[in-house]
Every structure is written in structure tokens, then in C-alpha cells.
Amino acid sequence: MEDSKIVALYWERAETAIGETAKKYGSYCRTVAWNILYSHEDSEECVNDTYLSAWHSMPPQRPERLRAYLGRITRNLALDRYKFNRTEKRGGGRILLALEELEECVPSGDPERITEDLVLTEALNRFLADLPQEARKIFLQRYWYLCSVREIADDLHISESKVKMTLLRSRNQLRALLEKEGIGI
């Protein structure tokens, strides 16, 4: 079913909206949650909470990109749950590893001069827009979807070394951009 039709079901308060969402995006949401939580039970609860959140947020929201909209809800819920669990087993280590990689490329800032998250997001959007499509996908699969290097290589059918190299270049570009714009954290 087309996304616009699914969104319309939410607006009509038709319960089938949840079933249709699950059919079309259940696997996607589970992947997003699994990459953060590494627990089937927690992931499944997260996905169900995503449907509930979608139900409560539409209306008033009318997302143009339903997949990304749901993915963002799932990711936030999963990260909240991850923080709650705060376990280092399995998925916990994976998140920290990805974030530590990314942290290296962000210049240190004056603790007194805390940059607004919005400014950093805008810079990230400009940075992503200028990246070649493949590099952008690799970057976001690693740092948004928190996929492993191996999973990215498999998904995009490229070698792991190419993924690592592309990530290194992208991080360097991001660091240069943030330094140039004087954005520190």
C-alpha cells in the first residue's frame, strides 16, 4: 500500500493503519531497533511502541516520508531503552564503538561555548548533501542505523575495506567542515 494511503488511515483513525504499517515497515523498524539493542524481545517491544507512537502522532503529523518517520521514532525509542538498559553486552558495545569513531572527527570545543544541537544538525545536513550518494549511505548506515562494517559491505555489495576507507574519508571531511565553521562540542 502506498505511504500516503497508510498515513490517511491514521488520519481516519482506522485501526488497520497499524497492520498496514507493520506489513510494510515492520522488518525495517525491527532492523533499526535490533542494531541498537541486539535483543529480539527489546526490539519487538520497541517496534510495537513505534506503532503506538505513530498512532498518537498522526494526526497532527502527516509525514511525507513514512519510512524515515517511523525509523526515527524507532531509533529514539531504542536509544532510550539502550540508555535504560545501559548494558555493555552485545549491542551496547556496538553503539559505543560507532560513536567513538565519530567522536574523533568532531573538534573539541570550549565547554563554556556549548553549540546548539541544531547548528550541528544543519552542518551535518550540508555535509551529507555534499557527499557522493554511496559515501552518504555508508556514513548513515554506520552512524544512524548503527550497522557493522560487515553489514554495510554486505548490503551495498562492496568490500569491508572500501567501507572503512570511505568512512575514514567522510569523517575527515566532516572534521574539516566543522573546524572551518568553528563548530565544537
Partner 1 sequence: MKQKRILNALTMVDEVFIEEAAPGTGTAAGLGRRVLAVVLAAVLALFLMGAGVATGIFGNSIQDWFDYYWNAITGQSMDKSQSAVIDNLSQEIGLSQTVGDITVTVDSATVGDDNFFLLLKVEGMRFSKRYGYTFGQNHMTVSPDPLEGGGGLGGYGLEYHGLDGDGAIVLMMDYEYAAMTGYVEDISPLEVTLELKDLFRDGSKRKLLAEGEWYFTFTLDRSDLPEPVRLPDSEVMGMELEQNTRVPLLLTDIELTNTGMRFCYDCQGGTLALSPDFFVVLKNGLKVECTGGTGTLLDGGPLLFCSYQWMFPVDLEDVAAIQIGSTQIPVP
Q: Which residues bind partner 1 (CB under 8 A)?
A: 1-2, 5, 14-16, 18-20, 22-24, 26-28, 31, 45, 48, 51, 63-65, 67-69, 71-72, 75-76, 79, 96, 99-100, 102-103, 106, 111, 115, 117-118, 120-121, 124-125, 128-129, 133, 136-137, 139-141, 143-145, 147, 151, 154-157, 185
Smallest distance, partner 1 to C-beta of residue 57, A? 14
CB closer to partner 1 out of 27 and 168: 27
CB closer to partner 1 out of 59 and 107: 107
Residue 109 to residue 158: CA distance in whole angstroms: 36
Long-range contacts of 52-58 (CB under 8 A, 24+ apart): 53/77, 54/10, 54/17, 54/18, 54/21, 55/10, 55/17, 55/18, 58/7, 58/10, 58/11, 58/17
What's the sign of the alpha-carbon dihedral 154, 158, 159, 160?
negative
3-state secondary structure (DSSP) of residue 182: coil
Smallest distance, partner 1 to C-beta of residue 147, A? 6
CB closer to partner 1 out of 24 and 164: 24
CB closer to partner 1 out of 27 and 87: 27
Smallest distance, partner 1 to C-beta of residue 117, A? 4
Q: CA-based angle 51:26:4, to the nearest 5?
A: 70
Smallest distance, partner 1 to C-beta of residue 90, A? 18
CB closer to partner 1 out of 68 and 165: 68
Q: What are phi and psi of 105, to 5 degrees?
A: -90, -5
Neighbours of 156 (CB within 10 A): 15
Smallest distance, partner 1 to C-beta of residue 112, A? 13
